[in-house]
Amino acid sequence: MQGQRIVLGVTGGIAVYKIATLASHLTQVGAEVDVVMTEAATHFVAPLTFQALTGRPVYTDLWQMPTAGLPTHISHVGLAHAATLLVIAPATANTLAKMANGLGDNLLSTLFLATRCPVLAVPAMDVGMWQNPATQANVERLRARGVHFAGPAWGRMASGLEGEGRMIEPDEIVGHVRKVMGASGRLASTHVVVTAGPTREAIDPVRFISNPSSGRQGFALAQAAIDQGARVTLVAGPTQLPTPVGAERVNVTTAQEMLDAVLAASRDADVLLMAAAVGDYQPASVAAQKIKKAGDLSLSLVRTPDVLSSVAARRRETNRPRLLVGFAAESENLVANAQAKLTAKQLDLIVANDVTASGSGFAVETNQVTLIDRRSGIETLPLLSKSAVADAIIERVIALLAADDLTG
């Protein structure tokens, strides 16, 4: 969202206090945030709060003169034309009614009428107001006109009642913002399958063989693909990470389940990013009951299915996925081992990292990787956040998709 200009329309609901956190989050990820508050919103949170969090003036009055940098001296028109996205949060029943019926009696409602950019509404109201037929009719009218909606969620209201109408949390709103803004990205109409996390192979009902993969790099890749407009299927091993907004998640446990899910999901995929740490071995047999502690225990292990090789074999017949990306977690001979895997698995790109290096590999927020593809050789990235690594990988994917000889 670096450099994107988001107008945040804040209306008068109790959930306004959460929008301060949203404004802060959007600013931290690089967006320029202009806040427009209705008079009712200022009774819950002072405009100074948003000014301090965004570093920009807050607009509260239709007659307020705009600051420099807008394309016109008329506030609602200037803000509408400058914005790349209009987010209305919380979107009260009253504001939704104005939007649906073309009323322009304050700065925010006139700005909505003038806007040319995508609009995301985040409803927040008591359950009865949300369920009211008039509100539902307004929502359907706005959806038909192209307005995007995020929420509401089910939960406890300020009134003490429980039901649908609670505003979704700021982190989830950010996810919806990223999805809407990425809809016209360079991967629009592209199906990307991402695998993430570890696999587990049972020894008995309470023990298993696994690895310390957290899934963070794979989930970051899914988010980066969504940011570029891709339709994303996320095949995830056991992990507690939240699903990126816009991703279709398929949960698996074993290597065999991973293989089955990947083969099914990639049947029409353009890109497969195999970031999961799939176990190489599984017990030859699984004990039906918990193995009791009594002396030494020996396990006989057999190979698990090779997911990448299976996908590569099918690709030779179907040309799907168009682009096959593997990952190599190594502890020695990083480039040589990765190049050997690139060739053996018939990959278009491999992402290699030394899991013994400080700040890289499993269960950390950062990673240092080397990208090796079949076109432009080797590129070693510096130590970066896993989200930044994901962005760099997706950039390479976009470049490879644009090439003529992906599998040549």
Catalytic residues: 211
CA-based nearest residue to 245, from 183, 290, 294, 159: 183
CA dist., res. 111 & res. 212, Å (int): 50
**What number of other Cβ atoms are within 10 A of residue 46's Cβ?**
13
Alpha-carbon separation of residue 3 from 6, 30, 78, 171, 326 (angstroms):
9, 6, 17, 19, 32
DSSP labels, 318-385: H--SSEEEEEEEESS-HHHHHHHHHHHTT-SEEEEEETTSTT-STTSSEE--EEEETTTEEEEPPSEE
Fill in the amino acid letter for 164: E
Fill in the amino acid letter for 88: I
Residue where the block lists tokens 């997706």: 394
DSSP labels, 49-107: HHHHHHSS-EE--TTPPPPTTSSSSSHHHHHHHH-SEEEEEEE-HHHHHHHHHT---SH
What sign has the CA pseudo-torsion 306, 312, 315, 317? negative
Phi, psi (rounded to 5 degrees) for 31: -75, 150
Rounded to the nearest angstrom, the gap between the alpha carbon of residue 391 and the centroid of all alpha carbons in its chain is 12
Taking the C-alpha atoms of 264, 220, 84 and 173 in order, what is their torsion angle to the nearest 10 degrees? 90
Yes or no: say if 377 and 339 are a contact pair by the CB < 8 Å rule.
Answer: no
- Degrees (nearest 5) of the Cα angle 229, 235, 239? 110
Yes or no: say if 320 and 268 are a contact pair by the CB < 8 Å rule.
Answer: yes
CA dist., res. 165 & res. 129, Å (int): 8
SS3 at position 408: coil
Count helices and strands in the chain by DSSP H and E runs: 14, 22
